Amino acid sequence: MSANIKSVIVGTGNYTPVNIFSNNDFLEHTFLEKNGNPIQRENLEIISKFQDITEIEERRYADPNHKASDLGYLAALNAIESSGIDPETLDYIIVAHNFGDIAPGSTRPDVLPTLGSRIKHKLGIKNPDCVAYDLPFGCPGWLQGMIQADYFIRSGDARRILIVGTETLSRVTDPHDRDSMIFADGAGATILEGQENTKTGILAHKTQTHTFEEAFYLYSAKSNNQELLSDELYIKMDGRRIYEYALKNVPLVIEQALQKSGTDLTEIKKVLVHQANGKMDEAILKRLFKLYGIREAPHHVMPMTISTLGNSSVATIPTLLDLIIKKQLKIHEFNSGDKVVLASVGAGMNINAMVYQF
């Protein structure tokens, strides 16, 4: 690998569905425990407590005529337009997702052909040397795609790579599970380019996979409504264990990425964490700064979109990144020389972190 080549972000894009579903849209749902018993609280109280914990007020759902590959294509097109590159010069297209294309009214995933091939087809790219493939890695999938792309670029195997994160989680949520209110739809995309003798670019990264006890903290299972005869499977989670796992491990993985990059936490201007749960993300940030003996994190160091966009899995960080780069997120911006951290945690259980300098 060449130490003189860095992977530099030259384009970003996102596609955020226009359909807004507020917490009030869940007031008529029948929420059940995992054992099928009714939750012994009024929906208003359930939803109020949910909002206090997650900070989610509303989320976005895809149009019925859009699948995950459609959202990913629109985000990719946005990134290509912002970069000004010729898409025929892309060496790889890496598409992170968890459930593939899902039609409305079904939970059955469709990944033949892969979403990478579908998005390349939609972009009209003819170059056969542009290799398109999928990366299922839980919510950290897009960031892991960035990490893989960095290895390709620094090895000399590639010059330009498109990384997409896209998901339609609304189609795999159980309407009888209160956790269904967390999930949303969306897509984000980034283009990395290898550049020589520059301070800008990816400085370091770190990834871990914990499976000994943690592998099934997120899983697929039937509806909480045991009277349903359907074999449809929905996304399920053990929220308490995920919270404890993330709080314990994510700060340590970020710390290792910072150490690999030779960067002190005090040099970091922004921390972009996967938008999973507002209170959990805040606790992760607090624990991270505590590792460095700092009692309070700097004001506005952690941008958040979860209150209005919900948790769109692989799409949260690239969407957040794009909004800041294009100055569409109030009070947040990147300046030349700024060092930032990107970090995610999710199904697998997987954690990754990256240090990037603008």
pLDDT in tens, the chain (358 residues): 556 899 999 999 999 999 999 999 999 999 999 999 999 899 999 999 999 999 999 999 999 999 999 999 999 999 999 999 999 999 999 999 999 999 998 899 999 999 999 999 999 999 999 999 999 999 999 999 999 999 999 999 999 999 999 999 999 999 999 999 999 999 999 999 999 999 999 999 999 999 999 999 999 999 999 988 788 999 999 999 999 999 999 999 999 999 999 999 999 999 999 999 999 999 999 999 999 999 999 889 999 999 999 999 999 999 999 999 999 998 999 999 999 999 999 999 999 999 999 9
Task: Choose which CATH entry (3.30.70.3270, 3.30.1360.200, 3.40.50.10380, 3.40.47.10) describes domain 5-198.
Answer: 3.40.47.10
Angstrom distance (rounded) from CA 58 to CA 181: 9
Task: Find the angle CA(202)-CA(208)-CA(211) to the nearest 5 degrees.
Answer: 160
Fold (topology level) of 202-357: Peroxisomal Thiolase; Chain A, domain 1 (3.40.47)
Angstrom distance (rounded) from CA 278 to CA 276: 7
Ramachandran bin of 82, using left for φ above 0, alpha for ψ from -120 to 50, beta for the remaining angles:
alpha
Under DSSP, is residue 116 helix (H, G, I), strand (E, B) or coil? helix
Six-digit token string for 183: 């999930």
CATH 3.40.47.10 domain extents, the chain: 5-198, 202-357
